[in-house]
A and B are shown apart, each in its own frame.
Chain A
Amino acid sequence: MSDAAIVTEKLTRRFGNLTAVDGVDLKVAAGQFFGFLGPNGAGKSTTIKMLTGLLAPSSGRAELLGLDFAAHPVDVKRQIGVVPEGMGLFERLTGAEYLRFVGRMYGLDRPTTQRRSGELLDFMQLSDRPKTLIADYSHGMQKKLALAAAVIHGPRILFLDEPFEGVDALAAGALKALLGRMTERGVTIFLTSHVLEIVERLCSHVAIIHKGRLVAQGSLEELRAGIAVEEGSKTTLEQIFLSIVGQDGSQQPQLEELSWLM
């Protein structure tokens, strides 16, 4: 348990009669690049919200870096970075002002905040519009800024909800390289994405949530081992995902009904 960055026990969240996350037991080791997958409405974002302090669990507990989140929220938040769903930006600030705001909120001193803001803006290729408000940024630029804000304090765990959505290929490449370097330094990255190729390329470990329940967890090799495929061919994450999530058949659209389109 000591080398685990994230541990959840029976983590549950109910909204009225709907159980969005149902007794999830997760274990993510420190320094892992962890992919958290699931179909739309499976409970991915709700889980991330509970792990980052945006949502209180109905029951169960979450432990990050050995600290119980409910008991030590401020100490935990100091060590994590988050790109939440919707990004959570103050859109009436400029990119630099926002990064300085976030840096100061994490308690960095002013010169450090100033220096890191500039470096991050340069890296994200956002420094050529110093006076542009975030409200006037494109979606991809906002995403890059949210990523920059999530890492300004050098977090030990990084939670990324759809981080590459809307980001151009050039910036995405640089970001992937950055995230890779961060995991080499021991930073744990917890990522959700609908683009399975990205998860397959970046993540060493994966968990799949379906209808609020954790249905698979392990390294890619472990998950591959559980899927029967033709001899000699390598199982893709998409095949793993479809075989696990599509088992009950409820996710398969009935193409026959659209015969007029084919």
Chain B
Amino acid sequence: MADVARIPGVWEQVRLIAGLRWRILRNNLRKKNNQWDLIGMILAGVFGGLAVLGTSVGFFFGAYTLLSGAHEAWIALLFWGIFLFWQLFPVFSAGFGAGFEFRTLLRFPLSLRAFYIIGLAYGLSDFAAITSVCWLIAMTIGASAAKPAALPAMLAISFVFLLMNITLERLIGSWLERILARRRAREMFLALFIFFAVSVQFISPLLQRYGHSAQPWARQVLPYLAVFPPSLAGQAIVSAAKDQYANTLLGVAGISAYAILFSVFLWMRFATQYRGEELSETAAPARAIARPVSRSAEHSDALRLLTPQVAAVLRKEYRYLTRNSFAFFLLIMPPVFVLLFTTQFAVRHPTAVKHPVSTEMFFPGMMAYLLLILMAPAYNSFAYDGKGIQAYFTSPVSFREVLLGKNLLQVAMLSFELTLCVVAFSCLVGIPSLPVLAATAAAVVFNISGQLTIANWSSLSFPRKLNFGQMRGQRQSGMAVLVGFSTQILLGAISAPILFMSRWTGDRWLPAEVFVFLAAAAIAGYSSSLAPLAALAEKKKEILIDALSR
């Protein structure tokens, strides 16, 4: 018989969970080297608090002004803002990794009722919920200042709106937990997020071009939004301001109906979790199938010019790149940026700004910017190897070959991306003159060779493990970032005056000649750096293994 004297009550359990969360936060800050995290958190807290305060003032004035004037129906927009923020912000932050696993509490003797209430209480403790509650309070004060008689109605509406939002947020959250438990789903989610982030960049140009023609369509759609909770809340408060309390009650009842519906779904969802739910990553056993030996693999090898070890590392790097949704989707960014920037700044494009940049200047600038993006991962190139780093040290290879394999893939990827961008650029705005094209090409070779040498040193000296399909807690090594930026600024500072040489000297081919010389020197430097870097890897192997095997 267990020695449990009594089962703690629901509220005591809520208090225990709150205490647990606080201890987890506090203990995380006690970890070694987390002083900067603490400072960062304090700064983020101050700025976040100011942002919430500022936007709350905005909601106060918004509610006050709308209910005081002739546009009171527009108050629904404020509710829509709160609703979308409350529901969408946690969704995006959930995609960036696993936080505290609420389900793990189920191993303790909790009743389903207690589990449900703790779940709701837990939902009230995140940033989106706290911010939204602040906005609702500000709106209530603003609305009451404009129409004091509307205060009771506003309180009732805010309460049911809050209840509905918490319930819906927890419902979405628990489904997301279920869906994102699988690695592939997490990576797909991340890919969608990146796709969304990229798409947002095009909103402004699209609105400029199609904004007017989209307005009638938007007006047709708007009435359908009236049945959703934020519009119901808006209508209810407008009715209260006009003393039409029956309509107010109808609105409150509508939001309550949503809250009840979501509560039922949430109860069912939590009940499934409570009974025990399998979220394992391991796939179900498949039927054994005959495994034919690939003839192409036996007889041909596209990488036969390389040593087996370099080819093996190159193949492994290629597979890692194509299976890393975050890194892979970052590769779509360069052509997208070319598209975006050429529509904004380049001289020959029809939608360019009033004072465009000439193609002769824009082309090298664009290439420099693309290098800045594409070279960044090279400064922590072992980040995704994880425990596999040990295989490099137990294998009979020199680290020179490992670095060469990794760099070759980096160069291949850069070549592909830059070629794609040059083609896109030439289609959109044309290519620059031959001397500028040659100078830029040589400058790119100089930059890549120079950067790879330093990036290899940085990767060995400041390794930091990163996980696939996850962004929360995925920070690059601060030193690697610093080294990367410093190198790029230095090489940029060398390259920019050389590109301008032709203007000062009148010799249009001089920059190309200088860059060819620098590129040759950088390639020689890179080649001679590999042996010392292999020795450095041997010296730093404990740091590497320790940092990447955690």
CA distance A149 to B3 in the complex (A): 49
Chain B residues 307 to 344 lying within 8 A of chain A, measured CB to CB, are: 308-309, 311-313, 315-316, 319-320, 323-324
Chain B residues 285 to 320 lying within 8 A of chain A, measured CB to CB, are: 285-289, 291, 293-294, 297-298, 301, 308-309, 311-313, 315-316, 319-320
Contact between chains at B283 and A105 (CB < 8 Å) = no
0/1 string, B45-61, CB within 8 A of A gives 1? 00000000000000000
A78 within 8 A of B: yes
CA distance A252 to B282 in the complex (A): 39
CB within 8 A of B393: which of A53, A75, A100?
Answer: A53
CA distance A74 to B298 in the complex (A): 27
0/1 string, A132-162, CB within 8 A of B gives 1? 1101111000000000010000000000000
B391 to chain A: closest CB distance in Å?
Answer: 5
The residue on A at minimum CB distance from B304 is: A110
Contact between chains at A136 and B390 (CB < 8 Å) = no
CA distance A89 to B387 in the complex (A): 6
B356 within 8 A of A: no
Contact between chains at A130 and B291 (CB < 8 Å) = yes
For A86, the chain B residues whose CB sits under 8 A away are 387, 390, 549
CA distance A110 to B291 in the complex (A): 17
0/1 string, A101-112, CB within 8 A of B gives 1? 110111111110
CA distance A132 to B286 in the complex (A): 10
A83 to chain B: closest CB distance in Å?
Answer: 10
For A114, the chain B residues whose CB sits under 8 A away are 293-294, 297-298
Q: How many residues of A contact B (CB 8 A)?
A: 50
Contact between chains at B324 and A88 (CB < 8 Å) = no
CB within 8 A of B283: which of A91, A121, A132?
Answer: A132
Contact between chains at B394 and A54 (CB < 8 Å) = yes
B388 within 8 A of A: yes
A169 to chain B: closest CB distance in Å?
Answer: 17
For A224, the chain B residues whose CB sits under 8 A away are none
B298 to chain A: closest CB distance in Å?
Answer: 5
Contact between chains at B183 and A135 (CB < 8 Å) = yes
CA distance A54 to B395 in the complex (A): 10
B388 to chain A: closest CB distance in Å?
Answer: 4
0/1 string, A37-80, CB within 8 A of B gives 1? 00000000000000011111000000000000000001111101
Contact between chains at B394 and A82 (CB < 8 Å) = yes
Q: How many residues of B contact A (CB 8 A)?
A: 47
Contact between chains at B309 and A107 (CB < 8 Å) = yes
Chain B residues 521 to 540 lying within 8 A of chain A, measured CB to CB, are: 538
For B396, the chain A residues whose CB sits under 8 A away are 74-78, 105-107
CA distance A21 to B145 in the complex (A): 75
For A127, the chain B residues whose CB sits under 8 A away are 288, 291
For A201, the chain B residues whose CB sits under 8 A away are none
A257 within 8 A of B: no
For A149, the chain B residues whose CB sits under 8 A away are 391
For B313, the chain A residues whose CB sits under 8 A away are 105
B172 within 8 A of A: no
B384 within 8 A of A: yes
A176 within 8 A of B: no
Additional pairs, 18, CB under 8 Å, beyond known A53-B394, A87-B387: A52-B394, A56-B541, A84-B390, A86-B549, A88-B388, A88-B549, A92-B320, A92-B324, A93-B316, A97-B316, A107-B308, A110-B297, A114-B294, A128-B287, A128-B288, A129-B285, A130-B291, A135-B468
A-B contact pairs, 28 of them (CB 8 A): A54-B541, A55-B541, A56-B541, A75-B396, A77-B395, A88-B387, A88-B389, A88-B391, A90-B316, A90-B320, A97-B315, A97-B319, A101-B316, A105-B308, A105-B309, A106-B395, A106-B396, A109-B308, A110-B298, A110-B301, A115-B293, A122-B291, A128-B287, A128-B289, A129-B285, A130-B291, A135-B281, A138-B282
6 smallest beta-carbon distances between A and B, as pairs: A88-B390, A90-B388, A104-B312, A77-B396, A78-B396, A128-B288
